[in-house]
Amino acid sequence: MTELHESAGAGPGDAHFTVFTDHEDAAAVARPFSRPGSRTLTHASGRPWIVGHWHDDEIVTAHAGRTGLAVIGCCPIDATELQRRAARVRDLAELDALARSLPGSFHLVAALDGQLRVQGTASGLRLVFHAAVGGVQVAASRADLLADVLGAEPDEEQLAVRLLWPIPHPLAEEPMWRAITAVSPHDALIVAPDSRTVRHSRWWTPPDPVRTLAEGAPLVRNALATAVDARTRRGGVVSSDLSGGLDSTSICFLADRSPAHVVASTWPGRDPADTDLYWARQAARSMPDIDHVVWDADVSPLVYDDLLTIDDLMDEPTIGVMDRSRLLHHLPAMAEHGSRLHLTGIGGDHVAWCSEAYYHRLLRTHPLFALRQLRGFRALWQWPLGGTARALADSRPYGKWLADSSGRLRAPLPATVSTSLGWGMPPRLFDWVTPDAERAAQRVLSGAAANAVPLHPDRGLHADLDQIRSCTRIVRQWDQMAARMGVPMASPFLDDRVIEACLAVRPSERVTPWQYKPLLTAAMNGIVPDTCLRRTNKAAASMDASNGLREHRADLLKLWEDSRLEQLGLVDGSALRRLAQRPATPELRDAILYSTIAAEVWLRGLNRKSEHHAQASYYTEP
């Protein structure tokens, strides 16, 4: 394998690429993917293998005999070890075990005897797509890389689906262009030597949740420490969120044990009842070597800030645009402090805690224990007895639940207890969505329901996996945005090995009404001081959201004055403009605008993107 450099390429954290088989037809198809600034890794034949943008710090390659391997992203494996692994590969299926053994967050790309294997992460943070370009199957880390060369237009039916709140599995995985196919995070893409035949091969399944808390906590601690070490072992300066919550506090303490110097960053909430700053300062006192930067809450960007000027090139709509400014605002200052990487505690809520829906099964297998716990949950979350009983009695399979949801898209938002103990929150559409968009979304939902299977038969594990994927689809876009700011982000809780360690612990001990995040508390015992482990809640930032609606209503009004969604006939622009003039409308507290804003911002970004790629060459499918 050789690498051809056209320029310095992208900075760390912004790796994106396409992958090609060692075939003469594929070599011809690869040309329009190579643009100014791109880099190329070649097969032994000299034909293009991987074309895209990456930094030297986020790729390791090896070649041994008939096998080529590339690890792209964050992984502490070195070239010598990767070459040793490559020398042992006789079949692509053997790479399942390699992928399940390595820490970090990365794409794994392999070439063997003309075959190609490409996979991302089980978490969904790193995805894989493929499409036929000039008759050749091309794999990519982002769907828009393929759409740009194909000259494809977004699928309006899929845009209608993206107006749903929330978007249920499996619809959230579908690309925004019909010509492109997504690979499930649990699968690897296999492309045959002819460059035309493809299949998806399962490489990951969640662990059985059989470990006790006492058995699992040390394994969670080791996995999380390894994930943080993979980012900090090079030393230098790294920054880290220190919100005062248990998730970010755990990451900060683990980073403080590393060779890196840590700059901890705290944004206090605007709500006087917000205690984040108190808990952050408690933690900082136990880490005397860190620099603790506390920002002025009154200058923190609000939710809905800067929606009109977002110019990130995204391959799908994301509700992450609502918090983009809040998330990125301090990164330039972190860069001034010398930070080469910003660590977050994002994902801790999704992996260290878990869904109460496990109690639907536990009630049937351990009824006395489950009833005691459910009484506690009813008191904690104020679940009514009747609603709790109905939710526990509901045994509809996932496909039937999804089919029933397709006929109730305009119904009121369901009770919290039914979503907590069921398959999740059923999707809804709101008053401003047009009947045409509703019919399109119903068609897709009904079609998916006919063959839909949950991510796991246990609705609790399904809910956990679905929430992890929903989180990573936002974070993958945030990571790209942060890389543009010059300080890439990393979320160690979302590494596959950390997720596996958490999911392997019995849900009856992970989620309980009597203790807050018991698994993470046990895992961090001895690393995080007891004073910090005693926190039993987290800030909701509701004031930041409500203030954002009021202060940015002019931007929201302007967003709908020239709405791309309205031009496509998917929303009633006048209804949205009326709503923008009434930011105190009670139902807006439930974030029902988020999916619509995400789709509108994404469509506006496509116009900027088409200008960005105006000089690109295109293939048109026959």
Annotate 86-119 with DSSP letters as a single string: HHH-SSGGGHHHHHHH--SEEEEEEEETTEEEEE
For residues 126, 127, 133, 136, the Cα torsion angle rounded to the nearest 10 degrees is: 90
Query: Residue 556 pLDDT > 80, yes or no?
Result: yes
User: Coil, helix or strand for 541?
Assistant: coil
The lowest-confidence range among 32-36, 118-122, 178-182 is 32-36
Q: What is the model's pLDDT at position 179? A: 96
Using CA atoms, how far residue 402 sits from 179, 306, 354, 391, 392, in Å, is 25, 35, 22, 15, 17
- Dist CA 213 CA 454 (whole Å): 26
- Dist CA 587 CA 406 (whole Å): 22
Q: What is the model's pLDDT at position 474? A: 96
Q: What is the model's pLDDT at position 287? A: 96
Q: What is the model's pLDDT at position 551? A: 77
**Class of 3-154+178-202 per CATH?**
alpha beta
Q: What is the model's pLDDT at position 303? A: 79
With residue 560 as reference, give the H or E element that holds it: helix 553-561
User: What percentage of the chain has pLDDT greater than the value 90?
Assistant: 80
Q: What is the model's pLDDT at position 231? A: 97
Q: What is the model's pLDDT at position 276? A: 84
Residue 322 is classified by DSSP as G
Q: What is the model's pLDDT at position 621? A: 42
Q: What is the model's pLDDT at position 611? A: 59
Query: Residue 7 pLDDT > 70, yes or no?
Result: no
CATH 3.40.50.620 fits 213-300+315-352+464-541, yes or no: yes
Alpha helices in 257-383 (DSSP H): 276-285, 324-328, 331-336, 348-351, 358-365, 367-381
Higher pLDDT, 590 or 96: 96
Considering the chain, what is the average pLDDT of its residues?
A: 92
Q: What is the model's pLDDT at position 422? A: 96
Q: What is the model's pLDDT at position 167? A: 96
Query: Residue 353 pLDDT > 70, yes or no?
Result: yes
Contact 502, 521 (CB under 8 A): no
Confidence of residue 305 (pLDDT cuts 50, 70, 90): confident
The mean per-residue pLDDT over the stretch 395-423 comes to: 96
| Longest pairwise C-alpha distance within the chain | 68
Q: What is the model's pLDDT at position 6? A: 42
Predicted confidence (pLDDT) per residue in 505-523, tens digit: 999 999 999 999 999 999 9
Using CA atoms, how far residue 473 sits from 284, 314, 469, in Å, is 31, 11, 6
Predicted confidence (pLDDT) per residue in 446-504, tens digit: 999 999 999 999 999 999 999 999 999 999 999 999 999 999 999 999 999 999 999 99
In one-letter notation, the amino acid at residue 144 is: D
Q: How many CB atoms lie within 10 A of CB 161?
A: 26
Helix (H), strand (E), coil (C) string for 485-534: CCCCEECHHHCHHHHHHHHCECHHHHCECCECCHHHHHHCECCECHHHHC
Query: Residue 322 pLDDT > 70, yes or no?
Result: yes
Contact 239, 525 (CB under 8 A): no
Query: Residue 234 pLDDT > 90, yes or no?
Result: yes
Burial of residue 382 (number of CB atoms within 10 Å: 0-12, 13-18, 19+): exposed
Rg of the chain over Cα atoms, rounded to whole angstroms, equals 24
Predicted confidence (pLDDT) per residue in 268-297, tens digit: 876 666 788 889 999 999 999 999 999 887
In one-letter notation, the amino acid at residue 165 is: W
Domain boundaries, the chain: 3-154+178-202, 213-300+315-352+464-541, 358-461
- Dist CA 446 CA 452 (whole Å): 10
Residue 211 is classified by DSSP as B
Query: Residue 539 pLDDT > 60, yes or no?
Result: no
The mean per-residue pLDDT over the stretch 150-166 comes to: 97
Predicted confidence (pLDDT) per residue in 110-148, tens digit: 999 999 999 999 999 999 999 999 999 999 999 999 999
Query: Residue 583 pLDDT > 80, yes or no?
Result: no
User: What percentage of the chain has pLDDT greater than the value 70?
Assistant: 93
Helix (H), strand (E), coil (C) string for 242-267: CCCCHHHHHHHHHHHCCCCEEEEEEC
Confidence of residue 588 (pLDDT cuts 50, 70, 90): confident
User: Coil, helix or strand for 612?
Assistant: helix
Query: Residue 617 pLDDT > 50, yes or no?
Result: no
The lowest-confidence range among 151-165, 285-299, 489-503, 540-554 is 540-554
The mean per-residue pLDDT over the stretch 367-383 comes to: 96
Residue 547 is classified by DSSP as H
Q: What is the model's pLDDT at position 128? A: 98
Confidence of residue 8 (pLDDT cuts 50, 70, 90): very low
The mean per-residue pLDDT over the stretch 511-538 comes to: 90
Confidence of residue 607 (pLDDT cuts 50, 70, 90): confident
Please, which residues bridge with residue 188 across strands?
Answer: 201
